[in-house]
Amino acid sequence: MEPCDTFLESSLKLFRYYKHLGDQTLARLDEEELHRCPDKDSNSAAIIVKHLWGNMRSRWTDFLGSDGEKPWREREAEFEDDIADKAHLMRLWEEGWQCLFDALTPLQPEDLGRIVYIRNQGHTVLEAIQRQLAHYAYHVGQLVYLGKQLKGPEWESLSIPKGGSAAYNQQQMKKGPRRGHFTDEFLKSDE
């Protein structure tokens, strides 16, 4: 497989992995917890999801053909907690990710060098993908941390649990050297 093919495949797997972490976190939070803010300067899980939705729709709609900061985007409104219920929030979550996957999936290696713009700043497609991957990982990390804080001792780890590293490493080493993407193991449960 060519490195460009690997980059696109790996990027899709990473986006799916971060969506999976968000899915798992949101599933564990009830209505009240989704809207709870740790303090006045922080965002609730609902606000983080709303912001991701707005960003994904703006960046990935007509990804190759128009600026990623769409004139119809209302970024400031993304930070208002006005989501009616969890069902509505989950529709936004899914809609944002679907927009991303619809734009990213058909890309070909020859597209990676094309120039796309975000607020009139040119990026190669490769750079734009990396930018968004870092942005979404940042916010999904916030979601997971917030979920862990809200659930306290009820929280179950989404990766290797604290104190479980030695057993996990031993299990992995028994499998011997192999080629694979680290997300394959975590995403199996979604299939």
Instruction: Express each pLDDT in 84-108 by its tens digit.
Output: 899 999 999 999 999 999 999 999 9
What pLDDT score was predicted for residue 191?
Answer: 47
pLDDT of 142 above 50: yes
Least confident span in 62-71, 132-141, 148-157, 158-167 = 158-167
Report CA 90 to chain centroid distance, whole Å.
14
Q: Where do runs of H (alpha helix) occur along 61-182?
A: 86-104, 125-151, 165-174
Q: The pTM is what? A: 0.91
What pLDDT score was predicted for residue 26?
Answer: 98
What percentage of residues in the chain have a pLDDT greater than 90? 77
Question: 171 is written with which tokens?
Answer: 């299990």
Question: 122 is written with which tokens?
Answer: 């040119």
Q: At 74, give phi and psi (nearest 5°).
A: -120, 80
What pLDDT score was predicted for residue 107?
Answer: 97
Residues 7 and 49: their CA atoms lie apart, in Å, by 26
Least confident span in 55-59, 125-129, 137-141, 168-172 = 168-172
- On whether the CB atoms of residues 126 and 7 are closer than 8 A, the answer is yes
Q: Which residues pair with 116 in a beta bridge?
A: 123
Q: CATH homologous superfamily for 3-190?
A: dinb family like domain (1.20.120.450)
What pLDDT score was predicted for residue 185?
Answer: 76
Would you call 122 helix, strand, or coil by DSSP? strand
What is the identity of the amino acid at 121?
Q
Question: 23 is written with which tokens?
Answer: 């899915």
| 143-163 per-position pLDDT tens digit | 999 999 999 999 999 988 889
pLDDT of 167 above 90: no
The single-letter DSSP state of residue 158 is S
